[in-house]
Every structure is written in structure tokens, then in C-alpha cells.
Amino acid sequence: MRVRLPVRKAILQRKTYEAPAEGRLKKMRLDFNENTSGCGPAVLRALRKLTPEQVAMYPEYAAPTRRIAAYFGIAEHELLLTNGGDDALRVFFDAFVEPSSHVLICEPTFPMYRYYAEIAGARIETLRYGSEMEFPLDEFVAALRKKPAVAFIANPNNPTGTLLPLADIQKILLAAASTVVVIDEAYAEFSGVTVLPWIRKYPNLFVTRTFSKAAGLAGLRLGAAMACRESLALLRRAMPPFPVNVAALAAAEAALQERSSIRNYVKQTREIREWFAGELARLGVRTFLSAGNFLLANFGVQGPALFKKLASQGILVRERSKDIGPGFVRISIGTAAEMKRLVNVIQNEIRPTFRQGRN
């Protein structure tokens, strides 16, 4: 039966976003930048303590917001909790973007910026990272003279791993007086770099974070948007009254009480990332400096066949041939055992000439 519905033009003009994979639980998950060692034990204990009454009632946010804000070093009125990091990004479009508004992004980057911009019917101006995955600072600053409604920057950037220095972000903020600047710090725990202390200095600065990566809570969906009190109040107007569920709140509080688990995971991930980059270099594989819990690599012409071989062995990686080029792949940093297994498979599959750097 054919149904005619009054669907928006922007929806008809775009494809449905499909999650890249299902059935991942028993596989080696190096494709979504998750914490593959899992959440800390305190999180599971907190979830087990939830009572039937807590599950049956709407969540209360005052106490969790106060504690999470303290963790970030800000005031509770400077923090807005959201249903995952994706929801933190969506609310900027609800609050600041009209149909045909101008939105500025730099690709390749997190695809949800473009996803929400297309749904909103925005005009998307796209710059590109360079061949060395460097951020085009001068071009970005020049584009801000056109006064886009919102500009999005992932720092560190996914999938390139690029980390924009604080001095460069300050140049952007000084040039963006008429633009909402969103700094997406989903991987800030791994880079150690944040602009959060600047939110009271720059009223157009918004920072987003997620509990999906370092805290290992991707399955519970908890994110955050942060800004000065007056600016964040505008975002609150675009939010529903109960965006975050009680299990996510309990898990986040428990994770922050057991910060040693997060610190240890971050430390180990950094060490494994550097080891893995060295192993790929030894095999003649080009990698790019990363400040996240992942690594971008170029396997050249042998890449597509290798990625299929990995998938056949239950090893999931994120191929980036469509948005960067053939042979490019983003590989999440898993446990030491997982990464050693991956190196062994790669070593056995790529040709000797490749390992000598003559691909």
C-alpha cells in the first residue's frame, strides 16, 4: 500500500542513517572506539542496586547533575545532561539552526554533525583536513567571516586523531563572535586537552562530552553539553524534561566515584596506542598521530582485502575508504591481548613487499 505523508523535503533528500554493524557482542570490537575492557565494577554494583520504585518513577537530576558538574570542574547550572553525546549535538540544531542556516564543519569528522545539519535543512559549508590530517586553521577562520550559525570542531578529531592546540582554538573563538562554536571533546580524557575553563570567558563557546568512551558506558547513553549559564539556558529551552534515564545517571555517578578505573584505562590505552603505531610502522603501514583511543592507518591497495579478512575472523575495524580514500581504516585501541592478536593477523596477511614499505 502506497502512503502519502507530509514529510519534510530535507528528510526525503537524505538517506537513512544505518548503524554500521550488528551482532558485535562476541567479536573483537575495534570499530566504534568503545572501551573494550568494559565499565568498572562500581558501575555494575550501582545498576544492581536500582530498586523497582526507582525504575518506575521519572528520574531526578539535581544530585547527579551536581556531582557530575563537580567532576568537570564547573557549576551545575553550566551542565546539561543528554541522552548520549549524539543528543548533545542534536540540541544545538534545535536551538540555533533554522532551515537554510549556515553550518560550518571540517571533514572527515564525526558524521553526526552533517547528519543533523541535513535533517535541519541547513546549508553546510565543508572544509577538509589536509593530506597529513592537519586542520585547515586559516581557511576555517576565513569561513567564520561569513557568520555561520554554528561551527563544529571535534578535538581530538574522529577519525583523524588530530588535536587542535588551545592557541588555535582561541584564534577561532576570537573570529567567531557571531557564531556558536561547539568543541566536541568526546576523547578529551585521552588527549588531556580541554577548553572547559573558557566557557565563562566566551559566551558563544559550548563543550560536549560523553560517557561512552573512557567511562565505558556506551550502552547506557549519557552525554553532556556545557557552557556559561546564560548560553546554556538557551539549550535548556530545546530539551525535553526527562532526557536521561535513571540507569545512566546511577552508572555515571558510580564511574566518577571509581575514577581510578577511568585513569587506568586511559593510561593503558595511550601506551597500547603507541605500541600499536610502532608495530604498524615496522610493517610499513602509514599511520597518523592520534590523541584519541583509536588510530587512523593507510594500508594502501591491500587494505580492502585485509579488512574483509579481519571481518571473517571476527575482528571489526572501521574502513574509511568512502570519506578518506581506499585503504584507510580507523582502528580502535582495545586491550593489549586484542591488539597483539590484530598485529599477528595483519602480519600474516599483508605481502612481504608491503611490510618493507614498497606498497
pLDDT tens per residue, range 94-122:
999 999 899 999 999 999 999 999 999 99
| Per-residue DSSP letter, 153 | E
* In a domain? residue 338: yes
Tell me the CATH number at 23.
3.90.1150.10
Same domain, yes or no, for 142 and 223?
yes
Determine the pLDDT at residue 24: 87
Determine the pLDDT at residue 20: 63
Mapped onto helix, strand or coil, the DSSP state of residue 6 is coil
Mapped onto helix, strand or coil, the DSSP state of residue 32 is coil
Mapped onto helix, strand or coil, the DSSP state of residue 301 is helix
* In a domain? residue 140: yes
Provide the angle, in degrees to the nearest 10, between the axes of the packed helices 246-257 and 259-282: 80
Same domain, yes or no, for 234 and 214?
yes
Asked if 81 and 244 touch (Cβ cutoff 8 Å), the reply is yes
Q: What is the pLDDT of residues 262-271, one digit of tens each?
A: 999 999 999 9
Determine the pLDDT at residue 358: 46
Q: What is the pLDDT confidence band of residue 22, given thresholds at 50, 70 and 90? A: confident
- Which range marks the domain in which residue 82 is found? 41-258
* In a domain? residue 172: yes
- How far is 249 from 4, CA to CA, in rounded Å? 41
Same domain, yes or no, for 284 and 234?
no
Q: What is the pLDDT of residues 219-235, one digit of tens each?
A: 999 999 999 999 999 99
Same domain, yes or no, for 161 and 241?
yes
Cis before 136? omega within 30: no
- With CA atoms as reference, report the closest residue to 245 among 214, 207, 225, 217: 217
Determine the pLDDT at residue 236: 96
Tell me the CATH number at 150.
3.40.640.10
Q: What is the pLDDT of residues 341-358, one digit of tens each?
A: 999 999 999 865 455 444
Give the pairing type, strands 150-154 and 102-107: parallel
Counting every residue, how long is the chain?
359
**Cell representation of residue 333:** 585501541
100-105 long-range Cβ contacts below 8 angstroms, 24+ apart: 101/148, 101/149, 101/150, 102/146, 102/147, 102/148, 102/149, 103/148, 103/149, 103/150, 103/151, 103/152, 104/140, 104/143, 104/144, 104/148, 104/150, 104/151, 104/152, 104/179, 105/151, 105/152
Phi, psi values for residue 353, rounded to 5°: -60, -35
CB atoms within 10 A of CB 253: 18
- How far is 223 from 81, CA to CA, in rounded Å? 6
- With CA atoms as reference, report the closest residue to 342 among 265, 269, 261, 280: 280
Determine the pLDDT at residue 7: 81
Q: Is the pLDDT of residue 359 over 50?
A: no
* In a domain? residue 1: no
More confident residue, 199 or 13: 199
Instruction: Out of 207, 239, 258, pick the residue that ends a domain.
Output: 258
Average pLDDT over residues 179-200: 98
Please give the tally of structural domains in the chain.
2
- How far is 153 from 285, CA to CA, in rounded Å? 28
- With CA atoms as reference, report the closest residue to 285 among 302, 270, 307: 302
Q: What is the pLDDT confidence band of residue 238, given thresholds at 50, 70 and 90? A: very high
Same domain, yes or no, for 112 and 211?
yes
- What Cα–Cα distance (Å) separates residue 215 from each residue in 25, 224, 298, 300, 312? 18, 13, 29, 34, 29
User: What percent of the chain is predicted at pLDDT more than 90?
Assistant: 89
Same domain, yes or no, for 154 and 22?
no
Residues contacting 4, CB < 8 A, separation 6+: none
Same domain, yes or no, for 270 and 295?
yes
